[in-house]
Amino acid sequence: MPVFDSASGPQKLTRAELYEKAWSEPMATLGPKLGLSDTGLRKICDKYHLPTPPRGYWAKVAVGQRIKRPPLPKLPASMRGSEETVIVFHQPPRPAPKELVAQQAEDDYPAGVRRRFEADPENRIVVPAILEQPHALVASSVLLLRKAKVDEDLRLRTRGLKCVALKVSLSAVDRALRLYDALFKALEARGHRVTLVTNDNETSTVVHVDGEQVGIEIQEHVTRTEVPPLKPQTGWYSKKYVWEATGRLTFVLTESYLSVRGKWSDGARQNLDEMLNDIVFGLGDAADAIKSRREAFERAERERQAAEAKRREAEDRARRARGKARALHQEVRSLQQSLAVREYVAAMRSAADAANLPPEHELRAWLEWAEEYADRLDPTKALRVPDDPDPHAEYRTAWNSPSPEPERSSWWQRPWYNR
């Protein structure tokens, strides 16, 4: 909403009021509220010696960093006076740009709500310096990791242990468990759930976010250096390496191909201890991506099943049509045969009458049987829908169809009768 009404005439702000507004929200959103562009508002701040947030300030605030802002300086002697400390805005409020409106609309969605919640300094996740009263999964993992052995790459071997997912060295396991402890407690405080899932002797750590399961793991970056042989080797030899643990941890999502951020690592300016809020927000993004992907798969499966049902229905219609055609051809042949038999019987009776054959002659008995046979062939006597005379023709054709004879390009490969 605009800060002032354009119908009420010019509006005034003191330097202190404009200073507070400039450090409360970005220039891109504050400018339209004051009827200016962000560049025009920045020029006014420079004119009245007002410090403004530097580039990247709001991005750092969004991840929970606290940056000290410079104090409001005094005006030069030439600008002092009550009339100079009042800034007058004559322009009417400008509508917000389309991209800003879209961003504000996006902030109203659950992702925007999560982003604002995690960016609030009051909700910052703090990693404890000492692991006291740990989460139940972390506490059980501590006992199990005491039995873990160290692999060649200096990382603990956790396969077969029902503990949190870790690929770290012995020197970094304490910090990794403290990160897990702070993260698990924060997730449960936000209404999520963390469980351990065992499959094929491999235990994975799964976060349940909005009904979706997101796998997580903490890894440590280790360096590998090849040890040169003491003397030149002429044949094959086994290379030897020296491994070194760096202490740099990385939090990864084990689910791949989600098109969202899936890795957070220690860096030169920021480490994982300061990224837990961003990780929690990223888990929500991953859950949304998993849900979208699952819904896309389900939608594609429904479409495939619908297409398959449509194809089968079309095949059934075509199969029934071919069966009806066979029945029709059979009925036509039967009618033609019936008419031919009756024509034969009529012709033979005429010939028998012309020859004055007695009624007890065997030919007359034969003609009576032939006439009965014509009635049995005649489909007009039954007045019913005929059945398919060969309902298994489709399957028999598919099963018993002869394989095509291979082509013979050379003359000696051809049968002797074609030479």
DSSP result, 235-297? S----EEEEEEEEEEEEEES----SS--EEE--SS--GGG-HHHHHHHHHHHHHHHHHHHHHH
Based on the fold, state whether residues 165 and 25 are members of the same structural domain: no
CA–CA separation, 78 vs 207, rounded Å?
A: 62
Which pLDDT score, from 0 to 100, does residue 338 have?
94
150 within some domain: yes
Which pLDDT score, from 0 to 100, does residue 177 have?
95
CA–CA separation, 363 vs 347, rounded Å?
A: 13
Which of 108, 142, 176 terminates a domain? The answer is 108
Domain count within the chain:
2
Which pLDDT score, from 0 to 100, does residue 169 have?
92
Which of 277, 296, 315 terminates a domain? The answer is 296
pTM of the entire predicted model: 0.59
395 within some domain: no
354 within some domain: no
Based on the fold, state whether residues 269 and 155 are members of the same structural domain: yes
Q: What is the dihedral of CA 294, 297, 301, 307, to 10 degrees?
A: 140
Based on the fold, state whether residues 220 and 265 are members of the same structural domain: yes
Which pLDDT score, from 0 to 100, does residue 280 have?
93
CA 81 to chain centre: 62
Based on the fold, state whether residues 281 and 176 are members of the same structural domain: yes
Based on the fold, state whether residues 156 and 262 are members of the same structural domain: yes
Which pLDDT score, from 0 to 100, does residue 293 have?
93
Based on the fold, state whether residues 66 and 129 are members of the same structural domain: no
Taking only the tens of pLDDT, the chain with its 419 residues reads 344 444 455 667 888 888 888 888 888 888 888 878 888 888 888 888 888 888 778 877 776 777 888 888 888 777 766 545 667 665 555 555 555 545 544 444 567 778 888 888 888 999 999 998 999 999 999 999 988 888 888 898 888 889 999 999 999 999 999 999 999 999 999 999 999 999 888 899 999 998 999 999 999 999 999 888 877 777 777 778 888 999 999 999 998 888 899 999 999 888 999 999 999 999 999 999 999 999 999 999 999 999 999 999 999 999 999 999 999 999 999 999 999 999 999 999 999 999 999 989 999 999 999 999 999 999 998 888 999 988 888 777 555 555 555 555 554 555 544 44
209 within some domain: yes
CA–CA separation, 51 vs 223, rounded Å?
A: 45
Based on the fold, state whether residues 85 and 142 are members of the same structural domain: no
* φ, ψ dihedrals at 117, nearest 5°: -65, -45
321 within some domain: no
Which pLDDT score, from 0 to 100, does residue 179 have?
95
Based on the fold, state whether residues 58 and 191 are members of the same structural domain: no
176 within some domain: yes
> β-strand 202-209 against 193-199: which pairing, if any?
antiparallel
Based on the fold, state whether residues 137 and 207 are members of the same structural domain: yes
262 within some domain: yes
104 within some domain: yes
Based on the fold, state whether residues 42 and 75 are members of the same structural domain: yes
Based on the fold, state whether residues 191 and 101 are members of the same structural domain: no
Which of 296, 319, 334 terminates a domain? The answer is 296
Residue range of the domain that includes 23? 6-108
> Which residue carries 């089968």 as its tokens?
312
Based on the fold, state whether residues 11 and 152 are members of the same structural domain: no
Half-sphere exposure in the Cβ direction for 81 (13 Å, CA)? 5
